[in-house]
């Protein structure tokens, strides 16, 4: 029965006759020692064998169409941030910043907040009285120039000690002179608006130095610097806006 069944299987599965070689013990050892002989044997078997007949339903076109359909019907998964996640992240940053601000030393916190009073009081006084005072605007610019010079010079005090993480190199010491030079230039302008804009630039540069070039500052100091810079910049811009409004009202009254 086996002899009759083998030719039938051979006709169904292979187009060419398949030859089986009887390997004796010595020849089998020879094939195991010689890897090239094994590769040649496998190559010979591949040449003599013919692939199984493919069912008519699985032609190349149908297989390609199935793969293409599967490719288009499988949507990619991209993780998008929902509004709740972004709001939670922003609130987390704000909470950490406020916590760092509360953890700051009390003398540094109170003195920094008290130093913002001359900035805020000038536009508030002008807005309540409804008039623009050039003397107050010049006093604000002068105080701003002193503050910017202090913010630039404190880097020398941070870099000069021997155990300081910042080195007294050209980067730290020379950059600390840039804000005072801009503050001095702000005092030379006759127009208070130009002086205010120059001070805003100097405050931005000083804040960039403290946040980027010297990352060894504690977190509470960085948060305190950001809050103080925002308040000073808004106060200077408010004074400049009041000056512009006062000049427009004066021109309209003359016309």
Asked if residue 203 has pLDDT above 70, the reply is yes
How many distinct helices (H) and strands (E) make up the chain?
12, 0
Residue 164 pLDDT class (50, 70, 90 cuts) = confident
Asked if residue 197 has pLDDT above 70, the reply is yes
Q: Distance between CA 94 and CA 97 in Å, rounded?
A: 5
Residue 34 dihedral angles phi and psi, to the nearest 5°: -100, 105
Residue 230 dihedral angles phi and psi, to the nearest 5°: -60, -45
- What are the start-end ranges of the E strands in 98-159? none
**What is the per-residue pLDDT for 213?**
77
**What is the per-residue pLDDT for 244?**
93
Q: pLDDT per residue over 9-34, tens digit each?
A: 555 444 444 444 444 444 444 444 44
Q: pLDDT per residue over 104-131, tens digit each?
A: 899 999 999 999 999 999 999 999 998 9
Name the pTM for this structure: 0.62
Q: Distance between CA 52 and CA 117 in Å, rounded?
A: 91
């Amino acid at each position: 029965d086996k002899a009759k069944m083998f030719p039938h299987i051979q006709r169904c599965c292979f187009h060419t006759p398949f030859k089986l070689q009887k390997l004796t013990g010595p020849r089998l050892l020879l094939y195991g020692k010689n890897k090239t002989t094994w590769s040649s044997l496998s190559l010979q078997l591949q040449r003599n064998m013919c692939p199984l007949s493919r069912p008519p339903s699985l032609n190349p076109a149908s297989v390609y169409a199935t793969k293409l359909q599967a490719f288009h019907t499988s949507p990619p998964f991209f993780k998008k941030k929902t509004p709740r996640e972004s709001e939670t992240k922003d609130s987390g940053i704000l909470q950490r910043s406020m916590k760092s601000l509360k953890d700051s030393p009390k003398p540094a916190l109170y003195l920094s907040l008290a130093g913002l009073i001359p900035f805020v009081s000038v536009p508030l006084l002008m807005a309540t009285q409804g008039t623009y005072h050039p003397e107050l605007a010049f006093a604000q610019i002068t105080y701003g120039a002193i503050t910017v010079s202090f913010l630039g010079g404190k880097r020398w005090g941070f870099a000069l000690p021997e155990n300081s993480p910042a080195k007294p190199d050209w980067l730290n010491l020379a950059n600390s002179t840039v804000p005072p030079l801009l503050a001095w230039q702000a005092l030379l302008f006759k127009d208070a608006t130009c002086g205010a804009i120059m001070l805003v630039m100097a405050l931005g540069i000083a804040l960039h130095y403290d946040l980027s070039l010297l990352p060894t500052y504690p977190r509470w100091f960085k948060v305190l610097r950001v809050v103080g810079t925002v308040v000073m910049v808004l106060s200077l811009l408010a004074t400049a806006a009041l000056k512009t409004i006062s000049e427009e009202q004066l021109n309209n009254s003359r016309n």
